[in-house]
């Protein structure tokens, strides 16, 4: 029996179309998530705007650890007994030594600093 030479192409075409539909579907999902973010509906953004702990988690945790005990950066579990709110805020905004300036607003830097200055 002779096989129809068109069948393999048909299968490839169907797989191709399926792949396009799947990728397009993911794109739409991401766009919706992005729009939700821009409208301020994103859960992360909302939490980050006025919750110092969330701001810390987003901007500092990678170097100072989830429990402030350090890692790449020094242990800051009792930083409040060594530094004032102003000093901490300045380090966040300008960086110091091995720590880069962190991209947060002045208000956010102050919020994190007040929270950290209570850690004694």
Cα–Cα nearest to 75, from 66, 84, 108: 66
Q: State yes or no: residue 54 binds ligand HEC (CB under 6 A).
A: no
Angle at 117 between CA 67 and CA 73, to 5 degrees: 45
Q: State yes or no: residue 29 binds ligand HEC (CB under 6 A).
A: no
Cα–Cα nearest to 104, from 33, 53, 63, 55: 55
Q: State yes or no: residue 111 binds ligand HEC (CB under 6 A).
A: no
Q: State yes or no: residue 17 binds ligand HEC (CB under 6 A).
A: no
Shortest Cβ 69–ligand HEC spacing (Å): 12
Which residues of the chain form contacts with ligand HEC (CB under 6 A)?
Answer: 59-60, 62-64, 72-74, 76, 79, 82-83, 88, 91-92, 96-100, 102, 112, 116
């Amino acid at each position: 029996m002779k096989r129809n030479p068109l069948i393999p192409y048909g299968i490839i075409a169907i797989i191709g179309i399926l792949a396009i539909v799947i990728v397009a579907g993911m794109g739409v999902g991401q766009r919706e998530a992005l729009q939700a973010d821009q409208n301020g509906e994103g859960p992360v953004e909302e939490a980050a705007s006025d919750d110092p702990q969330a701001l810390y988690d987003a901007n500092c945790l990678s170097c100072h650890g989830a429990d402030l005990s350090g890692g790449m950066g020094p242990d800051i579990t009792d930083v409040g007994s060594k530094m004032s709110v102003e000093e901490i805020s300045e380090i966040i905004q300008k960086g110091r030594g091995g720590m880069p300036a962190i991209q947060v607003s002045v208000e956010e830097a102050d919020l994190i600093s007040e929270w950290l200055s209570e850690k004694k």
